[in-house]
Amino acid sequence: MKFAVIVFPGSNCDLDMYHAIKDELGEEVEYVWHDETDLSGFDGVLLPGGFSYGDYLRCGAISRFSNVMSEVVKAAEAGKPVLGVCNGFQVLTEAGLLPGALLRNKNLKFMCRTVGLKVENNETQFTSAYQKGEVIQIPIAHGEGNYYCDEETLTRLKENNQIVFTYASENPNGSIEDIAGIINEKGNVLGMMPHPERAANDIMGGSDGLALFKSIVKQWRESHVNHA
């Protein structure tokens, strides 16, 4: 499986994402600059964290208009797995690939520490290697991680089982219903604030995030290799 790590001006977690895929997962991966116009050669797309375009206007608001985002939308529409982490999650909401928005943390402070995440839905191509209700330890590093949506959207997220992760014991940013990660209705676009790529090796403090990437590869191989 071949992944694209999208790099915007200001991305700073692209190296972490690349390392998780290449060195820990053992899959193919390439950096893709934001002005590229073709992602057809990739099987999955990863939008890393950071401060794309300096987070001017709103987080992810300028990145949404990068050339590569048209290709990310095409990849999502084609059913390819698309993962947005932290700033990548913000970009996905700005691009309309996921509902809702990310606001300033409730305490108005940047937060960087490991938190407990509860796996609310393990029947996705991103979470099949986890157990439903399992609590995993994943780092956060954000100032605008407060997920918000209107009541109609929240009801729809619940009805469609689109809430994938919630904060287990402590809600660090004030997000509605303790939401830490959601998926689109089609099930192939996941956005989450915590950083699974920073929890891919025990030497980094924990490896609970690696199962997320393993889940993606497992689903892809079952869909493409076994039925080839």
Q: Which residue has the tokens 């690696």?
A: 210
Q: Between vectors from CA 162 to CA 159 and to CA 164, what angle results, nearest 5°?
A: 130
H or E element, residue 88: helix 87-94
Catalytic, out of 27, 71, 120, 197: 197
**Is 197 considered catalytic here?**
yes
Residues 189, 74: Cα–Cα separation, whole Å: 12
CA 140 from chain centre, in angstroms, equals 12
Q: Which of 102, 80, 105 is nearest to 91 (CA)?
A: 102
d(CA 30, CA 164): 27
Task: State the catalytic residue, choosing from 13, 27, 94, 195.
Answer: 195
Q: Which of 27, 86, 142, 149 is catalytic?
A: 86
- Catalytic residue annotation: 86, 195, 197
